[in-house]
Amino acid sequence: MDFKLTNEQKDIAKAAREFAEKEFVERAEEFDREETFDEAIFKKAAELGFVGFFIDEKYGGAGLGILEHCILQEEFADVDLGISVAVLTPCFGSEIIQAFGTEEQKSRYLPSLATGKAIMGSAFTEPDAGSDLAAARTMAVKEGDEFVINGSKIFITNGTRADYLICFIQTDPENRDKHRRHSMFMVETNREGFEANKLRGKLGIRASDTAEVSFTNVRVPSSNMVGKPGNGFNEAIYLFNLNRIAVAAQAVGLMRSALKEGVNHVKKRFTFGAPLASYQAIQFKLADIYTWMRAGRNMVYEAAWKIDQGEMDHALVAAAKAFCGQMAVKCADMAL
Ligand X SMILES: Cc1cc2nc3c(=O)[nH]c(=O)nc-3n(C[C@H](O)[C@H](O)[C@H](O)COP(=O)(O)OP(=O)(O)OC[C@H]3O[C@@H](n4cnc5c(N)ncnc54)[C@H](O)[C@@H]3O)c2cc1C
Instruction: Using CB under 6 A, pick the residue from 121, 151, 253, 296 that binds ligand X.
Output: 121
Determine the interface stretch with ligand X among 56-64, 71-79, 152-160, 244-252 (rule: CB under 6 A): 152-160
Which one, 210 or 231, has the nearer CB to ligand X?
Answer: 210
Number of residues this chain uses to bind ligand X (CB under 6 A): 13
Does the protein bind ligand X through residue 190 (CB under 6 A)?
A: no
Stretch of 5-13, 60-68, 149-157, 277-285 lying at the interface with ligand X (CB under 6 A): 149-157
Are 235 and 96 a contacting pair, CB within 8 Å? yes
CA 136 – CA 171 distance, rounded (Å): 11
Kindly tell me which residue out of 157, 171, 183, 241 binds ligand X, with binding defined by CB under 6 A: 157
Shortest spacing between CB 92 and ligand X, in angstroms:
6
Residues sharing a CB contact under 8 Å with residue 153, sequence separation 6 or more, in sequence order: 123, 124, 125, 126, 138, 159, 167, 212, 213, 214
List strand residue ranges (DSSP E) for the chain, in order: 120-123, 139-143, 146-157, 164-170, 182-188, 194-198, 210-221, 225-226, 270-271, 274-275
52 vs 121 by CB, closer to ligand X: 121
| DSSP one-letter string for 164-217 | EEEEEEES-TT-SSGGGSEEEEEEETTSTTEEEEE----SS-TTS-EEEEEEEE
User: For the purposes of burial, counting CB atoms within 10 Å of the CB of 95, is it exposed (0-12), middle (13-18) or buried (19 or more)?
Assistant: buried
- The answer to whether 210 contacts ligand X (rule: CB under 6 A) is yes
Task: Rule CB under 6 A: choose which of 105, 122, 171, 250 binds ligand X.
Answer: 122
- Phi and psi, residue 325, nearest 5°: -65, -50
Q: Taking CB under 6 A as the rule, does residue 135 contact ligand X?
A: no
Q: How far is the CB of 291 from ligand X (least distance, A)?
A: 25
Q: Is 155 an interacting residue with respect to ligand X (CB under 6 A)?
A: yes
Residue selected from 130, 142, 173, 197 as contacting ligand X according to rule CB under 6 A? 130
- Residue 320 contacts residue 299 (beta carbons within 8 Å): yes
Q: d(Cα 19, Cα 104) in Å, to the nearest integer?
A: 34
Backbone phi and psi for residue 20, each to the nearest 5 degrees, phi listed first? -65, -40
- Applying CB under 6 A, does 156 fall inside the site for ligand X? yes
Interaction with ligand X in 224-283: which residues (CB under 6 A)? none
Q: How far is the CB of 207 from ligand X (least distance, A)?
A: 11
Among 2, 104, 131, 190, binds ligand X (CB under 6 A): 131
Sign of the torsion angle spanned by Cα atoms 97, 98, 102, 103: positive
We find the least distance from the C-beta atom of residue 240 to ligand X, in angstroms, to be: 9
Residue nearest to ligand X (CB): 130
Which range of residues in 21-29, 119-127, 246-254, 310-318 is near ligand X by CB under 6 A? 119-127
Q: What angle do CA 266, 271, 276 make, to 5 degrees?
A: 25
Applying CB under 6 A, does 215 fall inside the site for ligand X?
Answer: no
Stretch that binds ligand X, among 26-34, 125-133, 185-193, 301-309 (CB under 6 A): 125-133
Interaction site with ligand X (CB under 6 A): 121-125, 130-131, 155-157, 202, 205, 210
